[in-house]
Structure formats: C-alpha cells, structure tokens
Chains A and B, each alone.
Chain A
Amino acid sequence: MAVKKKKALSFEEGMQELTVLVEKLSGSELALEESIALYEQGVKLHAELEAMLAQQKKRIEMIDPDTAEIEAFEGNENGVS
C-alpha cells in the first residue's frame, strides 16, 4: 500500500515483496480478511512482475564519464578496434 506512490518498483524489489507476502501467508495462521488481502496483493504484484518481465527491453548504453550523459552503445561488433 505504502509503496504505491513511491518510484516505480524494480523487479527485484517486487520479487522480494512477493516472497515476503508468500512467507507471511504460509508462516502462521492469519485472520481470514488478512489472508485474502495478502493473497490479492500477491496476485496483483505477480501480474505486475509478469508484465514488467514481458515489457523489459534490451538496452545497451554508455555513460559519458565527464558529463554523465547516457547514449546507446553501438561499438564495433568485431570487438577490438
């Protein structure tokens, strides 16, 4: 809930959160409402992570050490130049 308005969740953070949810849900008996809330939260998070993984795009970039500007890194595919 509190995570909602913060910066976009990374996949790793999402996986961690989901792991915590699953552990909480399988650790000890909870109130019915709480288990259902946790489960729904988990299902939603799982869907988000799936989407995140599906939408991930290959990105090979280079950062300029002086200006910190980031641009695509093409390089020379043969390697050594």
Chain B
Amino acid sequence: MAGKLTLTVSQLCEYIRRMLQLDPMLHGVELKGEISNLKFHQTGTIFFTLKDENAALNCVMYASDAARLQAAPFEGMRAVVSGSVGLYVKGGQMQFYASSLRAEGVGVLYERLLALKARLSKEGLFDAQRKRPLPPYPDTIGVVTSPTGAVIYDIMNVSLRRDPQTRILLCPVRVQGIGAADEVVQAIRLLEQIDSVSVIIVARGGGSMEDLWTFNEEDVVRAVAACKKPVVSAVGHETDVTLCDLAADLRAPTPSAAAECVTPLRSETLAELAAMREALDGALNWQMGQKQTSLRLLEARLAACRPLKRLEAEMDRLAQSRVLLRRAIDGRISLAETELFQRRRELEMLSPYRVLSRGYAIVTKEGQAVRSCEQVADGDMVTIRFASGMADAKILNIRERHDAGDNDETM
C-alpha cells in the first residue's frame, strides 16, 4: 500500500466490517451491562443500547433469536448478552449482534418484580376490596392458556368431573417468550367480551421465574385487574406468586384447583335448585298463614263491634231502666196507698156511724134522718140503722114530746 489511496466510504466500511468479522476475539463474546433505549420492532427484531458507567454500545437481536427469549428484556435491566461485534455498513456504526440475552442473575428480575409490585400496589390494583366473588353458576368458563400442554387438560378433566355438562371456551396463547404478554392481554379482552363467558381462568404450568415472567408483565397484570369478568389466576406452582395472581379476583394454587373453584358441583346445583323450590312453597305458606292470622284477628275485632251487640247493650240498659222505673212507680203507689189508708182511718174516726157502736141507732124516713117525732106520723115506715145491720120499722104510736128536749140535746 504505497502512496495515497483514495477510498470510497463503502469500501472503508466494508473493509472494517470484514476486519471485525475476522477477529476471533470479537466472536462468542459475553457482554454485561444495563439495557436502555429498548425498542421492539414489528418484525420481531429488538434494538437496545448496552451501557456501563463509561461506555455504551448499540445492540441488535434478530427476530429468530428474540423468539427464543423466555422473558422480554426491559428498560434498565442488567443483562448478559452473548453474540459478536460487527459494523452496520449503512450507518457506519459498530454494533453488537446479540444471539441470546438473560438477566444478570435472578435478583435482577426479582428487583424489577418488587418495583412493579410496589407501584401497582400503590395504585390499588391488588386491593382486597377490588376482588369480586366468582359466579356461583357460571355459564361458560373462559380459559387463557396454551392449547398444548397439560394445563388445559387438567382444567377440562376437573371441570367435567364436577359437572359433566361443563362449557369451556379456550383462547389459546403462548405463555412465555416475547409477545406472550400481548397474546394473554388480547385473549383476556376477547373472552371478556363474549356474553356467555362468566369467569376467566388464566393459567400456566410450573416453570422458572423467567418462564413465568409473562405473568409479571405490567400489561398482563393491568388486563387482569381491568377485566370485566372475574378472573382466577393459576400460574406456576403453589410457591410461585406472580403479579397476575395478585391482581386476579382469586388465586388458585394450580390450574386444577382453579377449575375446582370455578366449576360448581352439578349435584349441588341441583340440590340448591330443589331447595329454592321448597323455600318458594314455604314462603307462600307463610304468606297464607299471615293472611289467616290477620283474618282471625279481624274477625275478632269485627265481632267486638257488630251492631247487634250494641243493640243488645241498649236493650239491656232499657230493661234496667224499666226495672228502675217500675220500682219508682211501685214506691209511689204504696206511699199513696198508705196515705189513703191513713186518711180513711181519720175519716172513719169522724163518721157518725161510730156513735152507733155505743148503742145508738139512726132512724131514717125516705132517706132523711128523723130528728123529731114531728117528722113522722103513725103508720109511717122508717128504717133503723144499728151499729151493724138495719131494720125496717113502722111507727105505732107517737107520744108526747116532753122528753124530746133531752133527746135533742143528745143527738
């Protein structure tokens, strides 16, 4: 390379690209740093910057590699990437082509989980009062999970055992990897719009923290919390608690347990329906009993105020008055009788006939008392009245009246 050589930009860039490619030191590199400027492209390619205190490097991960990620990387994540260094000729920029990416220790994911949990908890997403009761008699049970794998079958088996006429609507999703979170969110939104779906189970089998990461994604947690239908979350094993579990209306330890909580026993439903009928009959009987009681009460009240009763009372009073009146009149009559008797006695005391009892007699001629012999002539008929009885007599002989004076005075 003697003398000065003028190169085109393309030539130089292409040269550098090849140099970088040839250096074995720049292949199979493991690089650690913090992720920033994270961008998910539509095609599935991921762009981000990996940096430490002093340096930064643009990184790219192609869709084919990104698809193998268990959990989506996030802004600020301390990550370890492996891949090779190369030059992006069009931009003249050195880039790191990452073929794999993982968190720098589980602690990184855990910290993120805690931070998100604290934030969403502050918003009240996990509040106990937000939890809704499960529908006692669900129509269709919506299930968000993978169409392959044991989970959906566990749910089906348990539900069908409890109620052989169970209705299940599965919305199949990927449960891990990039895009899984979006699928879960879409599935929840789709199922909640279907009228017959009464409750939704979001389920996934056990796995590592990274495997379960989808169910710690903010979008998924928010979709669960915002779901119009009650959600039962059954993610991982009993010991794994995801934010999705916390946001759900009920957390079931396993998918089978979720199916058990959601599916009422058919025998119980039948028994409840029968009990309802009994309660209905009982309630009507009670109503009728009330009516009977009221009727009897009214009858008694009516009897107490019937007009005949008043009439009877009036008649009683009348009879009473009559007795009193009678008594009063009788009193007056006997008083009058006594008085009358008295008067008669008095009158009798004055009667001229009283004198007769002493031996006198009264002589009458034609009803006129004979006071003197001059009133009579021989042969006259007179009547003599004694103290008791009378006698008719004839004047035989009229005598001189010398002793007439005595008689006059005495009469």
Mutual binders A and B: yes
Interface residues of A (CB under 8 A from B): 7, 10-12, 15, 18-19, 21-22, 25-26, 29-30, 32, 35-36, 39, 42-43, 46, 49-50, 53, 56-63, 65, 68, 70, 73, 75-77, 79-81
Identify 7 new A-B residue pairs, CB closer than 8 A, beyond the known A42-B280, A58-B167: A25-B284, A25-B287, A43-B277, A60-B167, A63-B170, A79-B150, A80-B148
6 nearest A-B residue pairs (beta carbon): A25-B283, A26-B283, A56-B165, A35-B287, A59-B167, A12-B137
Q: Hey, what's the 0/1 contact readout for B355-380 against A, CB within 8 Å counting as 1?
A: 00000000000000000000000000
Interface residue count for B (Cβ, 8 Å)? 50
Docked CA distance A53–B279 (Å): 19
Docked CA distance A19–B279 (Å): 9
- Are B137 and A15 within 8 A (Cβ)? yes
- Are A62 and B164 within 8 A (Cβ)? no
B31 to chain A, nearest CB (A): 36
- Are B170 and A26 within 8 A (Cβ)? no
- Are B280 and A21 within 8 A (Cβ)? yes
SS class of chain B's interface: helix, strand, loop or mixed? Answer: helix
- Are A18 and B169 within 8 A (Cβ)? no
Q: Which of A18, A63, A73 contacts B190 (CB 8 A)?
A: A63
Nearest A residue to B291 via CB reads A32
- Are A62 and B169 within 8 A (Cβ)? yes
Interface residues of B (CB under 8 A from A): 135-140, 147-150, 152-153, 156, 160, 164-173, 183, 186-187, 190-191, 194-196, 198, 269-270, 272-273, 276-277, 279-280, 282-284, 286-288, 290-291, 294
Docked CA distance A49–B288 (Å): 26
Cβ contacts under 8 Å, B190 to chain A: 63, 65, 68
- Are B280 and A43 within 8 A (Cβ)? yes
Nearest A residue to B205 via CB reads A80
With contact pairs A11-B139, A12-B138 given, residues A58 and B166 touching in the complex (Cβ less than 8 Å): yes
A31 to chain B, nearest CB (A): 9
Docked CA distance A74–B191 (Å): 19
Nearest A residue to B183 via CB reads A65
Docked CA distance A10–B140 (Å): 11
Nearest A residue to B139 via CB reads A10
Docked CA distance A7–B139 (Å): 14
- Are A79 and B160 within 8 A (Cβ)? no
With contact pairs A22-B276, A46-B280, A75-B152 given, residues A29 and B137 touching in the complex (Cβ less than 8 Å): no
Nearest B residue to A14 via CB reads B137
- Are A15 and B173 within 8 A (Cβ)? no
A27 to chain B, nearest CB (A): 9
Q: Which of B156, B187, B196, B280 contacts A18 (CB 8 A)?
A: B280
Cβ contacts under 8 Å, B191 to chain A: 63
Cβ contacts under 8 Å, A42 to chain B: 280
With contact pairs A46-B280, A61-B169 given, residues A12 and B287 touching in the complex (Cβ less than 8 Å): no
Cβ contacts under 8 Å, B153 to chain A: 75, 77, 79
With contact pairs A53-B269, A58-B165, A65-B183 given, residues A73 and B276 touching in the complex (Cβ less than 8 Å): no
Cβ contacts under 8 Å, A50 to chain B: 273
Docked CA distance A79–B294 (Å): 66
Complex A-B: 28 CB contacts under 8 Å: A10-B139, A10-B198, A12-B139, A18-B276, A26-B286, A29-B290, A29-B291, A30-B287, A32-B287, A36-B284, A42-B280, A50-B273, A53-B269, A56-B167, A57-B165, A57-B167, A58-B167, A59-B168, A60-B166, A60-B167, A62-B170, A63-B170, A65-B172, A73-B168, A75-B147, A79-B149, A80-B149, A81-B149
- Are B147 and A12 within 8 A (Cβ)? no
- Are A61 and B280 within 8 A (Cβ)? no
- Are A58 and B164 within 8 A (Cβ)? yes
Docked CA distance A68–B148 (Å): 19
